[in-house]
Amino acid sequence: MLIPKIEAQLINYKIYEEYTPTLNKLEFFQGVFLPFNNERQKMLMLCLFNMGIREFISILPQESKEELLCLLQQDLKE
């Protein structure tokens, strides 16, 4: 399992193969991007792992950062 860290982490071809959709084909169905077999979650984890949490947060709009902070605070309380 990939664990995204603060800073970017390198990936290799084995990781790339495991976390990208079948035949490296991007799909959407009824308005949902990568709707099958947890492909969306796997692709997101791959991107977060490779770009790092710091860079991910830096590209978020302020409103999204505030919503993320609220969600994290709620999650940590549970």
pLDDT digits (tens, 9 = 90+) for 3-56: 999 999 999 999 998 888 776 777 777 777 767 778 889 889 999 999 999 999
pTM to 2 decimal places: 0.83
Please indicate, yes or no, if residue 7 is contained in any of the structural domains: no
Q: Which domain holds residue 52?
A: 13-77
> 34 in a domain, yes or no?
yes
Q: Which tops the pLDDT comparison, 78 or 67?
A: 67
Rounded distance, CA 24 to CA 30, Å?
Answer: 20
pLDDT of residue 31: 78
Question: Exposed, middle or buried by CB within 10 Å (0-12, 13-18, 19+), for 52?
Answer: middle
Domains of the chain: total:
1
Domain annotation covers residue 40: yes
